[in-house]
Structure 1
Amino acid sequence: MKLLHFASDFIGRPPRPMLRGKVYYIRQRIGGKDVWRSLHTRDKREAEYLAVEIWRMRQTDQVKSIIPTPPRKLALVWETYTRTERFQMLSESTQASKTVNWNAFMSWCRDRRISYPHQLTPELCIEFLERNGAKNKTFNNALGDLRLVLNEGGADINAFEQIAKRSTTRTTDDKKSQQFNAFSDRDVERILDYLATSDVRHREEWIAACRIASMTGLRYKDVASLQFDSIQRDDRGAFLCLSPSKTAAKTGNRLVYIRLTPGLNDLLNERRWRVAGDYVLPGLHEDYIRTDKNGKPMASQATKPFLKVCKRLGIDGSFHSFRVTFITKAAKAGVDLEELGGIVGHSTKTQTQAYNRAALEIDISDILRASIL
């Protein structure tokens, strides 16, 4: 077999195999020293072939060290990440949310002519994370998402790794938000009466959303994203079974169980006959996941119509106040607040933690009968 030699000679010509004892060896320079390397063969042709192949591999490694692999563009980093098992295992809604956030980041990068990860600096990353006065929790969520995408997507450098998460501990003054006040029974009546005659977009869905929240204590995102397949049945009747989006990551997607009252059961049955598709409130769900022209998520704007209603009626509160009202009524009705965690989905003991089917034994009707003046 005639040995072939390459014009390029980064490591020298292919070594000539030499028979030493019963097998062939080649002489190689490793770690600055010349050493003998066994080819583990007695066949001369095979030894010559192996010598050339080993030389080729070493030459390729040398070329890689001289001419590094070109860096991946941010678009390719995202494409690579979406093919990973970690991304594929996420729910469709979570994938959609992460896609919206990435698109907002890419739009921001294009405005600054940033195409590669190595063009990002910690200062630029912080500028993006702080845009529009983002709160610390939003800052941390975006930081975690982008850090993960660049790591899993094979970016050559990740400036987000150099940024520390920010404290999300609220002070006493921060917690004194009027928007978290409980609604009185009269407040709820006034809100529903106003919505019934208003021209608010998706009026019927807003009325249904308020009623669902007042009878379950669910957060707005969970109400807007509620699907018909969350309705299940046992020998006692129908109940809701879902994983609250806010606490899903902390609790490993633990489920909450909410026994349907006759009123809530009738409302959901009515919605099933009136709408097509998977979502109980498709209009509100679409508004919640939509983005602006720059690809920026607009979820924070989703409850603005409700805030306007409260403002016009002179009521201090937000959609979250339905949740506060439900928990306040439960306390008045004598419900154990740790067991209530199985309904409202709190994630710590101080926030009523009890994720189990014992929640199905709680009579929601007793809670709703409690009055708040």
Structure 2
Amino acid sequence: MHPQTAKKHIGSVKLYWDFLIARGHVTGANPWAGQTLPDRSRRVERGDERDERAFTEAEIKTLLYSSYPPRMQEKFKQQIHDVMRIAALTGMRVGEIVTLWVEECPIAEDGAGYFDIRQGKTAAAARRVPMHSDLLEIVKRRSKGKRPQDWLFDELANERDPGDVFGKRFRQYRLKLMVDDVQPGKRRSLINFHSFRRWFVTQAERAGVPESTISSVVGHEEGRRSITFGTYSEGPAWQQMRACVDAIKLPTNSFLLPLIEEA
């Protein structure tokens, strides 16, 4: 069992025993109090400590350009493809994307738009992200005929946790296309929806965009924690943030993938 999973089980049993004591079902001290896992550390072999990673170019192509997997509900097809492209070209988190309101995705007459993220997991998460030109069609199509505070992804508006619901749909889609990377001893695949965000950051860095600008676009505090950037700077200019987004290019569909049949 993975150590993190074992710790959760020990914690659950300890809490349950506390409950039994409180209700009078058992007496005495909790035998699980202070229990710890044995030290099973071993020599770290080369390549053992791999962390979750960005998608490779081949994986991005497979996700974006493959035929829609059989036995998946057709009504999810456009939703999955739209969210994937927004994630890859903005670095936004899944919860930020699927809960956008129409008024938070304005497009000016000159065709320039942005995503207005008004809340998030950290103070840095509230930000404006320039809209990549390749996303204009998606936003215009999904905004048509809707009111300002209607959801861009209205099909998820009634879900209790839209980010989690979409995440499960994407995982099913990804696995059906055999885009996975499970390593021995790891509870999760090294790739998931967050790998789009990692891919965006990687591509921006390779395009020569400064870390402080990338941090402002994706809503990270870490890149602006120095006294110089965190205290004295007002942040990068909007033109710099737009240049960061415009530097990202999706790989072209340079190969044709066959329809992947379920085993």
Q: What TM bracket, shorter-length normalisation?
A: 0.5 to 0.7
Residues 214, 323 of structure 1: 8 Å contact kept: yes
Deviations 1:270-323 (A, max 9, x none): 111276661111223433527xxxxxxxx5454122112222222232111110
Question: What does residue 193 of structure 1 align with?
Answer: 65
Match of 2:178 among 314, 317, 323: 314
Identical pairs, percent: 20
Shift in CA distance, 281/360, structure 1 to aligned 2, threshold 3 Å: farther
For residues 196 and 358 of structure 1, do their structure 2 counterparts lie closer, same or farther at Cα, with a shift above 3 Å needed? farther
Q: Structure 1 stretches of 5 or more lacking a match?
A: 1-121, 128-171, 291-298
The corresponding residue for 1:338 is 212
Distance 2:225 2:197 in 1: 13
Q: Which residue of the other structure, out of 238, 242, 249, is the alignment partner of 2:117?
A: 242
User: Among residues 294, 300, 303, which one is paired with 2:167 in the alignment?
Assistant: 303
1:327 equivalent among 165, 183, 201: 201
In the alignment, structure 1 residue 270 sits paired with structure 2 residue 141: yes
Contact 1:227 1:280 in 2 (8 A): yes
Aligned counterpart for 2:54 among listed residues 172, 182, 202:
182
d(CA) in 2 for partners of 1:358, 1:190: 35
Per the alignment, do residues 212 and 338 of structure 1 end up closer, same or farther by CA in structure 2, a change over 3 Å counting?
A: same
Inter-CA distance 369–314: structure 2 relative to 1 (3 Å threshold): closer
Describe how 1:224-243 pairs up with structure 2 within 5 A.
Answer: 224-232=98-106, 237-243=112-118
Distance in 1, matches of 2:145 and 2:48, equals 42
Of 239-248 and 215-224, the range deviating more from structure 2: 239-248
The CA deviation string for residues 103-152 of structure 1, in whole angstroms up to 9 with x for no partner, is xxxxxxxxxxxxxxxxxxx957x98xxxxxxxxxxxxxxxxxxxxxxxxx
The answer to whether the 8 Å contact 2:204/2:248 transfers is yes
From the superposition, tell whether residues 223 and 175 of structure 1 become closer, same or farther in structure 2 (CA, over 3 Å): farther
Query: Matched residues in 1 for 2:236 and 2:247: separation?
Result: 18
- The answer on 1:204 being equivalent to 2:78 is yes
TM-score computed with the length of structure 1 as normaliser = 0.43
Distance (Å, rounded) in 1 between the aligned partners of 2:48 and 2:153 = 32
Query: Unaligned regions of 5+ residues in structure 2, if any?
Result: 1-13, 20-43, 181-190, 253-263
C-alpha distance 225-301 of structure 1, shift in aligned 2 (>3 A): closer
- Change beyond 3 A, Cα 1:330–1:315: same
Name the structure, 1 or 2, with higher relative contact order (CA <8 Å, separation 6+). Answer: 2
* Alpha-carbon distance in 1 for matches of 2:218, 2:66: 27
Q: Root-mean-square deviation (CA), in Å? A: 3.7
Determine which structure has more spread, i.e. the larger CA radius of gyration: 1
> Any residues of structure 2 matched to 1:52-201 within 5 Å, and which?
123=15, 176-177=50-51, 180-194=52-66, 196=68, 198=70, 199-200=72-73, 201=75
2:249 corresponds in structure 1 to 368
Q: Are the counterparts in 2 of residues 228 and 272 from structure 1 also a CA contact under 8 Å?
A: yes
Query: CA distance change for structure 1 residues 275 and 345 in 2, over 3 Å: closer, same or farther?
Result: same
Residue-by-residue CA offset, 1:174-209 (whole Å, 9 max, x unaligned): 9844xx321123322221334646533522111110
2:159 to 287, 311, 319: 287
Q: Distance in 2 between matches of 1:275 and 1:204?
A: 18
Q: Which has the higher strand share?
A: 1
